[in-house]
Chains A and B, each alone.
Chain A
Amino acid sequence: MQFILSGNCIPSPEAKMSLKFVRTLAFWLAFALTLSVALKGTV
């Protein structure tokens, strides 16, 4: 998993898309979590 996440391999286009999706999703979740904690002091 770390091998894939680190981008050190040459993944297939499907794997690339999945990785991009997972990263984008994780980023926006982190964004929402930050906003929620900053506004309410909790989630």
Chain B
Amino acid sequence: MAQRFGGKYSPQPMDAGTSDSPGYSGVAPGRTVTAAEPVHPLARRPVWLIVAAIPFLPSAFGGGPGALIRGLGAFALVAGAAFLIREGLKAEAAWQARSAARRPVLPRKILGSIVFGLGLGLGAGQAGMLGAIAIGAVAAILALTAFGPDPLRDKGMEGFDGIQHDRAARAIAEGEKRLTEMREAIRRTGDIALSDRVERFARGAQALFRAVEQDPGDLALARRYMGVYLDGARDATSRFVELWIAHRDTAARTAYEALLTDLETDFASRTRTLIEGGRQDLTLEIEVLRERLSREGLRADPVAETPPPPES
């Protein structure tokens, strides 16, 4: 189905809430920002390595089986290395975007650099055995320097229960999946205002995800929101989309948008509660520590610390 063109700076309907709003005002109040996967600044570079390796392909033919294996093998290894490095860059961007994250299980960028070295070593048939090894080693070092090593440590996991953190990560992944399904469903309507509305709702839900991510202990308080409510929102979205495509049912649209608004409010309020809870925990910890310090005589009395008034 055709979809109205729209981007970050495209004009949006004045009132995204109803379909009765008379067209576009020329003002861009709400911006449709498509979500949300963090992108590494170097993510496009690995493709250029594949481009540079294209000449391996014509040279593979016409020189006998050895040349064929060398040419195709070298190209396949370089392309595989570029793919691995790209996946590694994606994983690194996701790792950097989160305040608490485990290191990637497979160090893809390091592995990709090694495979890249193997590819160029295999392709360097004219350089002799030692030359090929040298070229492969230099290529691996250059790739590792160009893209950097993978994150090799966990981040922000100090004092976290590993099982609890995994449980929270699983719940967040499920929640993100439901949001993606909602986005895909609403896109079928071809209506940018609706897509934008769902995107705003998704951002609210993701704020709750981030709060849970920072303190996985809060999962119990947010589980209903990340499971039952998001399930309901997804199901409501797909039903609404069917109705909208079939009948352009304005009443259904109003009800659906009201549901999204209610859910958005609930999600925001729950996120605030979680953040407040975290602040209370911090205050409590500070008070306990202060009390302990003063009991052990390490903390001076605040009254004694105030400087005497200047003599006139």
- Which residues of A are in contact with B by a Cβ distance under 8 Å? 2, 5-8, 22-24, 26-27, 29-35, 37-43
Contact = CB atoms under 8 A, between A and B. Distances in A.
Contacts of A23: 42, 145-148
A41 B126 contact: yes
Contacts of B124: 37, 41-43
A41 B127 contact: yes
Contacts of A5: 145, 148-149
Contact of A34 (B45, B53, B147): B53
Contacts of B59: 38-39, 41
A12 to B, nearest CB: 18
A8 B96 CA distance: 9
Contacts of B147: 23, 27
Nearest to A4: B148
B78 interface: yes
Given A42-B126, A42-B127, A43-B127, A35 B149 contact: no
B151 A33 contact: no
Interface string B42-72: 1001001100111110010000000000000
A32 B53 CA distance: 10
A31 B49 contact: yes
A34 B48 CA distance: 10
Nearest to B82: A34
Interface of B: 42, 45, 48-49, 52-56, 59, 74-75, 78, 92, 96, 116, 120, 123-127, 131, 135, 138-139, 142-143, 145-153
Contact of B145 (A22, A38, A42): A22
Contact of A7 (B126, B131, B148): B148
Given A6-B151, A23-B145, A23-B146, A30 B96 contact: no
Contacts of B96: 7
Contacts of A43: 124, 127, 135
Nearest to B113: A30
A7 B41 CA distance: 13
Nearest to B116: A30
B54 A38 contact: yes
Contacts of A41: 59, 123-127
A6 to B, nearest CB: 6
Given A5-B148, A23-B148, A33 B139 contact: yes
Contacts of B127: 41-43
Given A37-B124, A41-B127, A30 B143 contact: yes
Nearest to B125: A41
A4 B50 CA distance: 28
A8 B153 CA distance: 10
Contacts of B55: 35, 38-39
Nearest to B150: A6
Given A22-B145, A27-B48, A42-B127, 7 more contacts: A6-B150, A32-B52, A33-B139, A34-B53, A34-B139, A37-B124, A42-B124
Nearest to B139: A33
B148 A27 contact: no
Nearest to A7: B148
Contacts of B56: 38
